[in-house]
Each structure stands twice: as C-alpha cells, then as structure tokens.
C-alpha cells in the first residue's frame, strides 16, 4: 500500500510542478526510502519510451533488426535512468546539498513521467497528419517545457541557483545523448 501512495503522491507532485506550482514539492517523499520508491517512475515511463521508439520507426527509421534495436534501446533506457542518479550523487555533495539528494532524485524521477507525457502529446500532431511546421512546433514546445520542468524541479529540490540547476539538466541531456548514440551504433 505504501508503494501505491508513493506513486500517487509522486504523480501529483509532477503534475503540480509541471504547472509551475512549487507546492508539488510537498508531495514528494524526503529520505532514501522515498527516493527508492520513486524509481517506480521508470517502470511507468517504459511504455511511453517504447511507443516513442515505435513512432520514430514508423517515420521511416526502422532498423534492420527491430527486436534487437528495441532490446538495446530498453537497456539504454535503464542505463541512462540509473546513470543519472548515480552521476548526480557526488555532484550534489560537491554543491553542498548532500542531504537533499534523495528528495532531488525522487522529484527528478516523478518529473520524468510528466516529461514523457509531454513528449507523447507532441507526437499527436504527426499522428493526425498535421503539417510539418505544426509537428515541429509541438515538438519544440514539449522539449522546452520538459527541460524547463527539470530545471525548475532541480532548483526547488536542491535549493540551487539557475546556473547550477542548468548544469545538472545539461548532464542529464548529455547522458541521454551518449546512451542514445551508443545504442543506435550497436543496433546498426
């Protein structure tokens, strides 16, 4: 039952934060147990990841071995997700915010759900046959909102200034780009 409450509270927090409402932070568990439970967000986001990958392939980027590429993509998904959490621990310590790291990771995990919802919503214009400029605009808005959300949540969770928060968001993007590049290269 604690897991269900944690998931519900985490999703509520992400929804509030995505709307720019800082009270979303009050729904996020503090402590290592809350951080551990927040990794349920990775399981919640996995279907969205798979759908986005399939939509990419439907646009003509189908790899020669789709099952192999999907398996590598899922492995990369898990590696990138866990990799960011591991990479941020020493950085947060260097920033003098070690005690805030569990809550930061919990917020980051739950905000990923909102980010995936934004990315799925951005795919709708293309699915409906909208002109390319509408599809591209939706993608830019979704990406911008997702990046802003992560930056905003990072600032709140770690009580950081704009620049250090942007650095942590940049690290997340960098990890994602590197993992995507490696999995793409391996899937041929």
175 in Cβ contact with 84 (< 8 Å): yes
Enter the DSSP assignment of 160: -
- pLDDT per position as a tens digit, 132-170: 999 999 999 999 999 999 999 999 999 999 999 999 999
At 30 the pLDDT is 87
Q: For residue 62, what pLDDT is reported?
A: 83
Domain limits for position 92 = 2-186
Q: Give pLDDT tens digits for 95-136.
A: 999 999 999 999 999 999 999 999 999 999 998 999 999 999
Q: How many domains does the chain have?
A: 1
Q: In this predicted structure, what is the pLDDT of residue 1?
A: 61
Q: What is the DSSP secondary-structure string of 45-104? A: HHHHHHHHHHHHIIIII--SSHHHHHHHHHHHHHHHHHHHHHHHHHHHHHTT-GGGHHHH
Phi-psi region of 21 (alpha: psi -120 to 50; beta: other; left: phi over 0): beta
pLDDT at 171: 98
- In angstroms, rounded to a whole number, what is the distance separating the alpha carbons of residues 167 and 34? 24
The phi, psi pair for 19, rounded to 5°, reads -95, 10
Is the pTM value of this prediction over 0.85? yes
Lowest mean pLDDT among 9-13, 62-66, 91-95, 144-148: 62-66
């Amino acid at each position: 039952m604690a897991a269900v409450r944690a998931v519900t509270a985490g999703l509520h927090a992400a929804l509030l934060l995505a709307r720019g409402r800082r009270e979303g932070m009050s729904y996020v568990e503090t402590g290592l147990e809350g951080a551990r439970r927040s990794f349920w967000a990775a399981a919640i986001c996995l279907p969205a990841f798979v759908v986005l990958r399939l939509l990419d392939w439907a646009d003509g980027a189908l790899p020669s071995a789709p099952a192999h590429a999907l398996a590598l993509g899922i492995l990369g998904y898990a590696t990138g997700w866990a990799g960011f959490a591991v990479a941020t621990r020493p950085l947060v310590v260097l920033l003098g915010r070690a005690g805030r790291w569990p809550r930061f990771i919990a917020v980051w995990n739950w905000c990923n759900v909102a980010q995936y919802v934004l990315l799925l919503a951005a795919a709708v214009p293309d699915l409906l046959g909208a002109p390319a400029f509408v599809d591209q605009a939706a993608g830019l808005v979704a990406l911008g909102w997702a990046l802003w959300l992560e930056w905003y949540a990072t600032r709140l969770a770690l009580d950081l200034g704009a620049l250090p928060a942007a650095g942590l968001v940049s690290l997340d993007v960098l990890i994602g780009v590197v993992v995507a590049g490696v999995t793409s290269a391996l899937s041929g």
